[in-house]
């Protein structure tokens, strides 16, 4: 018996090796070793329909026009092919996070009504060699069999980074193999294969040049943060789902909220609408009112109100004078952003007070405007110097902003 126990670990190890060898032989079947070859992509419009369409996407009209052409081609390819046109192979949707790249791809699938295969770039990369390339082959084989169809690769920068960087890591080689297979599959379509590839990324600058060339991704669609009219349209989409007060004028509310949210993305706007509904529910209100939206915007911009952070009367006075310095400069300077609100209620991480401004949607900044912004940022520190015998550390964040602004003025704007 003792002899049997001494051989037991060896027998278990041999048994495991035999079992894993048999599993490796089944690779390419239903599961492969530890199920690594299992299909990772999700299929829509066959097993379940996509209920999102272009009416649900607002604030990116130019991008919608670009993508609409793919939908028209997939619905009626003969109209274009009779004139000798070829279907564009694919489009890269790039832009800041939260601008609606994935939503636009879903809307394309909903409008076209063709099979839609969705997969994330990170799902191709595994520790096992060859699995990523195998999954790419499997994805495109299925898409071709069900053509016309759309393939959407979200966060394509996970596999599409420029090759030849960071050699010596096994994972990097596997990522390159996956990218090479993707390049081959995208070039391997015949002109009769009505398969469109859409890809989303917010890091288009790191992608391999071979991936971006015409013939693979013919269109580069940039989706930026929405401007005033775009924000109005996005609010219109999200406000439909919220129970508003009976005396609330929707047009007036849309315009006011769009003006209060400069530079925000579609995801930020959706978050504000949801926060406003949560605040109204927390206060046992019957409907969502304007002041709920204003509180939600404050919470998103400046953070949660800190009710347990008690300042001494002297500290409160310093914060009040500091914020008043910002406010007075913002009020009197011609080129500074319009001042909306000043608060000395502690919020967020370390903010003892804040001044809220409404910067307009502009792309060219004059020297006067930048100088006035810097003056406004330093107004708090100047106010402290004028009214107190000693200054405090409260202006550290302002100095950081002014330093960055001054460096960009010299290094980037000349």
The Cα-based distances of 101 to 104, 221, 276, 326 in angstroms read 5, 10, 25, 37
Question: Is residue 160 a contact partner of residue 182, using CB atoms and an 8 Å limit?
Answer: yes
What does the block give as tokens for 143?
A: 């898409």
Strand intervals (E) in 271-398: 339-343, 354-357
> CA nearest 400: which of 384, 380, 386, 383?
380
Question: Is residue 315 a contact partner of residue 390, using CB atoms and an 8 Å limit?
Answer: no
**Distance in Å from the first CA to the final CA of the chain:** 85
Q: How far is C-alpha 30 from the chain's CA centre?
A: 34
Distance in angstroms (rounded) separating the CA atoms of residues 411 and 201: 28
Q: Which of 66, 323, 334, 384 is catalytic?
A: 323
Question: Is residue 200 a contact partner of residue 97, using CB atoms and an 8 Å limit?
Answer: no
Strand intervals (E) in 260-359: 339-343, 354-357
> CA nearest 266: which of 237, 290, 242?
237
Q: Which residues pair with 412 in a beta bridge?
A: none
Distance in angstroms (rounded) separating the CA atoms of residues 388 and 399: 19
Active site residue 323: yes
What does the block give as tokens for 39?
A: 């299909």
Element (H, E) at 282: helix 266-282
| Angle of CA points 384, 390, 394, to nearest 5° | 55
Eight-state DSSP code of residue 288 = B
Q: Which residues pair with 342 in a beta bridge?
A: 355
Distance in angstroms (rounded) separating the CA atoms of residues 244 and 220: 39
Q: Which residues pair with 329 in a beta bridge?
A: none
Question: Is residue 99 a contact partner of residue 224, using CB atoms and an 8 Å limit?
Answer: yes
Question: Is residue 144 a contact partner of residue 190, using CB atoms and an 8 Å limit?
Answer: no
Active-site residues, by number, are 323
């Amino acid at each position: 018996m003792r002899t049997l126990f001494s051989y037991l670990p060896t027998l278990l190890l041999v048994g495991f090796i035999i079992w894993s060898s048999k599993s490796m032989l089944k690779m390419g079947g239903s599961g492969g070793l530890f199920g690594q070859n299992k299909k990772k992509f999700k299929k829509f419009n066959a097993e379940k329909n996509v209920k999102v369409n272009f009416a649900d996407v607002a604030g990116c009209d130019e991008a919608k026009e670009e993508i609409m052409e793919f939908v028209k081609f997939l619905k009626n390819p003969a109209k274009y092919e009779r004139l000798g046109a070829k279907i564009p192979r694919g489009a890269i949707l790039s832009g800041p996070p939260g601008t609606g790249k994935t939503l636009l791809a879903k809307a394309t699938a909903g409008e076209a009504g063709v099979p839609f295969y969705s997969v994330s770039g990170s799902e191709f990369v595994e520790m096992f060699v060859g699995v990523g390339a195998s999954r790419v082959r499997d994805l495109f084989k299925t898409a071709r069999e069900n053509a016309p169809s759309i393939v959407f690769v979200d966060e394509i920068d996970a596999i599409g980074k420029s090759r030849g960087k960071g050699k010596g890591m096994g994972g990097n080689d596997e990522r390159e193999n996956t990218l090479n297979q993707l390049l081959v599959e995208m070039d391997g379509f015949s002109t009769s294969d009505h398969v469109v590839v859409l890809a989303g990324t917010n890091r288009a600058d790191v992608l391999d040049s071979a991936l971006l060339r015409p013939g693979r991704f013919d269109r580069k669609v940039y989706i930026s943060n929405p401007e005033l009219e775009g924000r109005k349209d996005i609010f219109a989409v999200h406000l439909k789902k919220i129970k508003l007060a009976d005396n609330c004028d929707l047009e007036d509310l849309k315009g006011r909220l769009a003006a209060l949210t400069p530079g925000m993305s579609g995801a930020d706007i959706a978050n504000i609408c949801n926060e406003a509904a949560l605040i109204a529910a927390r206060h046992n209100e019957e409907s969502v009112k304007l002041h709920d939206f204003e509180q939600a915007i404050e919470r998103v911009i400046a953070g949660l109100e800190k009710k347990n952070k008690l300042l001494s009367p002297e500290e409160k006075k310093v914060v009040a004078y500091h914020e008043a310095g910002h406010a007075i400069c913002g009020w009197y300077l011609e080129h500074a952003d319009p001042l909306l609100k000043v608060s000395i209620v502690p919020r967020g991480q370390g903010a003892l007070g804040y001044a809220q401004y409404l910067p307009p949607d502009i792309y060219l900044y004059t020297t006067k405007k930048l100088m006035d912004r810097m003056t406004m940022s330093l107004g708090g520190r100047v106010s402290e110097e004028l009214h107190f015998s000693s200054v405090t550390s409260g202006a550290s964040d302002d100095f950081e902003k002014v330093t960055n602004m001054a460096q960009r003025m010299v290094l980037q704007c000349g």
